Amino acid sequence: MKATVLVLDGVGVGELPDAPKYHDEGSNTLVHTAQAAGGLKLPNFEKLGLGNVVSIEGVRQEKEPVASFGKMAEKSPGKDTTTGHWELMGVWLNHPFPTYPQGFPSEVINKLKSAVLGSPSHITLSNPKRDIKGAFLNNRLSKPTPGL
């Protein structure tokens, strides 16, 4: 048996019971995006059953979806995408991964710099407290880094 798993990463459909612990009360990325945009047109996801998971402006419920669909509530503690991906594949965590709501601390940034280029002094970020992923994606590195 083969399966294709589509993960809509970062496309949340409602808060989890532990939302207050992470200041995520009222979170619902997909529904709020649809409301802000005046509705969404997602005909292929509609056929798969996305409108059956949660009521989304512009996305109809499908009486006979061509796929199975669902909404996941993580069993593991924590607030991060990696935990959810691991759970989809059968790995549960006993302790949450660390989160950095104020940005990554210097020791984490320096470990990443060392792993990427061999020395933390090779690159600098325009704002070290900012999300380092965003820095990489927006080319905020002072030195080009092939392969990233």
Q: pLDDT by residue (tens digit) across 7-35? A: 888 888 988 888 888 888 999 999 999 99
pTM (two decimals): 0.63
Domain map (residue ranges) of the chain: 19-88, 100-148
Mean pLDDT for the chain overall: 80
Residue 16 · residue 28 · CB < 8 Å: no
Residue 116 · residue 109 · CB < 8 Å: no
